Amino acid sequence: MNNVELVKEAYSNFETGNVPAVLALFDPNIEWLECEGIPFVEGDGRFVGPEAVVQNVFMKIPEYWDGFNIAVEEVFGTGDKVVMVGYYQGTNKATGNSFKANATHVWTVRDGKLSRFFQAVDTATIMS
C-alpha cells in the first residue's frame, strides 16, 4: 500500500467508527498538531502518541459537536507527505448552529505508519 492509500484507509476507518483500525496505522510516537481555536486545545496543541490523540482529541469531539464528520474531497501526496482537502461538518452543541468548515490535513508517513498530523481548519466557522 502506498502512502496515499494508507491515508485514505485511515479516513475510511474513521468514517465507519473503526478507531482501533485507525490507531493501528499510527506510529507509536505520532505527533498530532491541532489548530489553535479548537476548544479543547491547550498550549501548543501538540499531542504525542495514539493514546494522547484518543484522550485529548477523539474523546473530546463529542463534547463540543453533534454529528461531527470529515468530508474528504481530495487526497494526494508525494514522498512522505500526504494532504487531505475537505471540510468538517456537524452541529456546535453550545450554539446549536450547523457548520461546514474548510479543513486541510497534512500527514507524514514513516516506515508505513502515520507519524505526523498537521491540521488547518476554519475554526471560526465550527465555533459559531
pLDDT at 93: 96
pLDDT at 128: 87
The model carries a pTM of: 0.93
CATH number of 3-126: 3.10.450.50
Q: Quick check: 126 and 65 in contact, CB under 8 A? A: yes
Q: Which residues of the chain are under the pLDDT cut of 50? A: none
pLDDT in tens, 48-77: 999 999 999 999 999 999 999 999 999 999
What mean pLDDT is reported for the chain? 95
Which one-letter DSSP state was computed for residue 37?
T
Place of cell 514522498: 79
CB-neighbour burial class of residue 44 (10 A; exposed 0-12, middle 13-18, buried 19+): exposed
Say how far apart CA 128 and CA 92 lie, in whole Å. Answer: 7
Query: Would you kindly state where each structural domain of the chain is located, as residue ranges?
Result: 3-126
